[in-house]
Amino acid sequence: MEASRTPVKALRQLEEALAALPAGRILKYSKGRIIYGRSTFSKSLYLVVSGSVGLSQIAEDGSEVLLEIIPPGELFGESAFLEVPRQAERALALENARLMSWAISDMEALIMAQPRLALALLQVLARRNAESARRIESFSLDSIEQRLARSLVRFSDRLGTPLEDGSVRMMPLTHAMLSQYVGTSREIVTQYMTRFRKRGFVTYSRQEILLRSDGLRTVFGGSRLH
């Protein structure tokens, strides 16, 4: 089963919890700027107000795995609660972004005073853990082509805007970024994206991606992952 949009109930609970929070500090990050990483350890929890943020895991050899793209209205940065000495996770502004931030030291006191907030944070973690489990299963069962098609559909659900003709418009994703998410080389992603374009499933430029989810679903419809 491919990941869908965040459930309405979960969104409502998160919105209620955030509404009970005092306003955080507003930060602005230009496209391509690192929010936190190995050299800038995070001590805050963030809410994306506008734009989007990419979360990546950076290995010791410098290789990168894209974990998630965070759209407006979602939280990230909960790894700061761990207080680990080295930060393996990196957050990068994929577009010009406005973030609201709360210091972890303040959040700990707020969580004690507002159990709803603790529940909302647990739901964020549970959803991301569930998505990680689906991705691991997909790595075992799906071909690279199927993983790429599944990833595009998922991103369109999370980041896209449905159009009247049935297609979905979303932010541009580079082939290098998709390769980091799917777990292959940029060249192979380019090969399959070209194939999807010839079949009429995607159209892309530096400004946007237009895709047809129904067409892409035929690529992985017969896979065992569901």
Q: Is residue 137 part of a domain?
A: no
Which of 31, 37, 42 minimizes the C-alpha distance to 98?
A: 31
Q: Say if 149 falls within a structural domain.
A: yes
Let me know whether 94 and 156 are in one domain. Answer: no
User: 71, 100, 131 — which closes off a domain?
Assistant: 131
What is the CATH number for 27? 2.60.120.10
Q: Based on the domain organization, do 93 and 172 belong to the same domain?
A: no
- pLDDT digits (tens), the chain, 226 positions: 344 445 555 566 567 666 767 778 999 999 999 999 887 778 899 999 999 999 999 887 878 899 999 999 888 988 888 766 556 889 999 999 999 999 988 888 888 887 777 877 888 788 888 888 888 888 889 999 999 999 999 999 999 999 999 999 999 999 999 999 999 999 999 999 999 999 999 999 989 999 999 999 999 885 544 4
For 77, the domain range is 8-131
The domain total for the chain is: 2
Q: Are 34 and 92 in contact (CB under 8 A)?
A: yes
Q: Is residue 1 part of a domain?
A: no
Asked if 31 and 66 sit in the same domain, the reply is yes
Q: Which of 79, 98, 131 is the endpoint of a domain? A: 131
CA distances from 78 to 52, 120, 128, 222 (A): 17, 12, 11, 36
Residue 47: burial class (beta carbons within 10 Å; 0-12, 13-18, 19+): buried
Same domain, 103 and 146: no
> By the 8 A CB rule, do 64 and 92 touch?
no
For the domain that residue 172 is a member of, what is the CATH number? 1.10.10.10
Indicate the residue among 103, 131, 159 that finishes a domain.
131
* Statement to judge: residues 61 and 15 lie in one domain: yes
Q: Do residues 178 and 152 both lie within one domain?
A: yes
Which has the closest alpha carbon to 35: 19, 21, 53? Answer: 53
- In this structure, the answer to whether residues 30 and 103 fall within a common structural domain is yes
* Residue 110, pLDDT score: 84
Global pTM? 0.84
